[in-house]
Structure 1
Amino acid sequence: MYRYRITAEIRRDLERIELLRERFDNRGTLPRRWLGRLRRDLEAESVAASTMMEGVRVTVEEVRRLLAGDTPPTVDELSASLVLGYRDAMSYVLRRADEPSFAWHAELVKAIHDRVMGGAFGLDAGRFRTIPVFISDGSDGEPVYTPPAEDLVPDLVDGLAEYLESSKELPAPVVAAFAHVRLAGIHPFKDGNGRTARVVAALAMYRGGYRAPEFTSLEEWWGGHRGEYHTAFDCLGKRWKDSSDVTPFVAAHVAAQRIQADALSLRLATQREIWTAIEDRVE
């Protein structure tokens, strides 16, 4: 199993994240119209960022229209299916997260992937890969990372599920980071691994008590910092190694969580002031 240390830097970020959670949880009742619009904006931005990171060429405005049921003529059928699939995967895990019988297991990961890939049979949605794969840097096609052999995948995903099931006492941002890097390292599917890993990380945050929308998705941050995102995976090395030290990834992930929560806290406060001023003028 991957190793990591909770460094002093990670502890500082965890303290800040916990402070922000308390602030979000105690912010009082928000105007329904305003809160609904904010959540729709956050959803469109996160879905657009995550799908664009995987090569689906859509804009935030196109995603906003897709989520509203209005398919733009500029978006092809497959792209639309993947955008809606990612939205459905996030909705699925948030619905499941509060179930009293909830448990982490490999079939849950498969179900998430099935939705991420829009249920497309041709894309092996919800099915572990049965072939070897490698990850290239996209420029010269040379492999930058080789995941484990396909016959190891089922047991490795089972092991990750066991880790998640037994990590209830650990800080949720650390668990989310570990789930993200471990699933990405295993690379259990032919495609859609990054999106699936990010949804699993969001679910780990929600299960850990971070239920405000500011905490359940890091896509917008990673989408704007793709270089940092890919660099964070350098700790995995060139080939699969079950005992890799992933402290650098955990640190980067927790820091991104803190930075995004801070930014969204400021955005929330600013928009609240604007809406309050508008309502005062209307009244």
Structure 2
Amino acid sequence: MELITDPQEKAQREAENGVRQFKEALEIIRSSIRKGDDAPQFALNQSIILRLQQKALEGIHPLAGTYRNSPVYIEKSEHFPPPHTDVPDLVAEMCSYINANWHMSAIHLAAYILWRMNWIHPFADGNGRTARVVSYVVLSVKLDSVLPGTPTIPDIIAADKRPYYNALEGADDSWKRGIIAVADMEAMLEDMLAQQLLSATQEAAI
């Protein structure tokens, strides 16, 4: 059940919430960038994820800021997300993977989040938006930077989702064989990061 039924009003609220969600992401990034070797290391947790999802769905969906309470299905996908009762534990496992593997590359961690959150599909709505922004937070914090340039990686993905969907399907296929393999997602994110950073140098040259 959605709180806004008028399509135009909903689209307007989604756009406004998208801005709010990204501002929240930037606040998390800025507060998590390490200021010296003795600064505490960032740890991804469920509170951060729920906070970002709430910003995207506030005023639109009654389950904003909470996990789904029923099965969900992904249109035009062969993947069937796990039961809603498993969601909290699966999200906790995902966070543990990121925190335990913080020594790995920023691109790998961001790619893993982008795939795994979509695989879990923890929310009744806003899964893609939230997965993309959480992935971006992890990427930025791992790189110790508020990344310059526009459009940002989440915006680049949203503009053409075909490479994103293909990378998700490839990772899903690997997971069916018990393998974590997100190479396609990593390649996609590397290219998009280069695009974003290049745009910053072009803007500076103008």
TM-score (norm. length: structure 1)? 0.59
Aligned equivalents of 1:159, 1:216: Cα separation in 2:
31
Greater gyration radius: 1
Secondary structure of residue in 2 paired with 1:112: helix
Identity %: 24
- Kindly indicate whether the alpha-carbon contact (under 8 Å) linking 1:153 and 1:186 is maintained by their aligned counterparts in 2: yes
- Kindly indicate whether the alpha-carbon contact (under 8 Å) linking 2:52 and 2:130 is maintained by their aligned counterparts in 1: yes
Q: Which of the numbers 6, 22, 25 marks the counterpart of 1:90?
A: 22
Task: Name the residue aligned to 1:231.
Answer: 166
- Which of 1 and 2 has higher RCO (CA within 8 Å, sep 6+)? 1
Aligned equivalents of 1:202, 1:269: Cα separation in 2:
20
How much has 1:254 moved relative to structure 2? Answer: 2.3
Q: Which of the numbers 91, 110, 113 marks the counterpart of 2:50?
A: 110
How much has 1:202 moved relative to structure 2? Answer: 0.4
Q: Output the amino acid matched with 1:165.
A: N
Cα distance, 1:122–1:270 mapped onto 2, change above 3 Å: closer
Deviations 1:145-186 (A, max 9, x none): 210011100100111111222222110110000011111100
> Structure 1 regions of 5+ residues with no counterpart?
1-74, 138-142, 275-283
Q: Which of the numbers 177, 181, 187 marks the counterpart of 2:121?
A: 187
Task: Name the residue aligned to 2:73.
Answer: 134
1:177 aligned to 2:111? Answer: yes
Residue-pair matches, total: 189
TM-score (norm. length: structure 2)? 0.79
> Structure 2 regions of 5+ residues with no counterpart?
1-6, 33-38
Aligned equivalents of 2:134, 2:106: Cα separation in 1:
12
**Moved beyond 6 Å, runs of 4+:** none
Q: Output the amino acid matched with 2:46.
A: A
Task: Name the residue aligned to 1:120.
Answer: 59
Cα distance, 1:206–1:132 mapped onto 2, change above 3 Å: same
Aligned equivalents of 2:104, 2:110: Cα separation in 1:
10
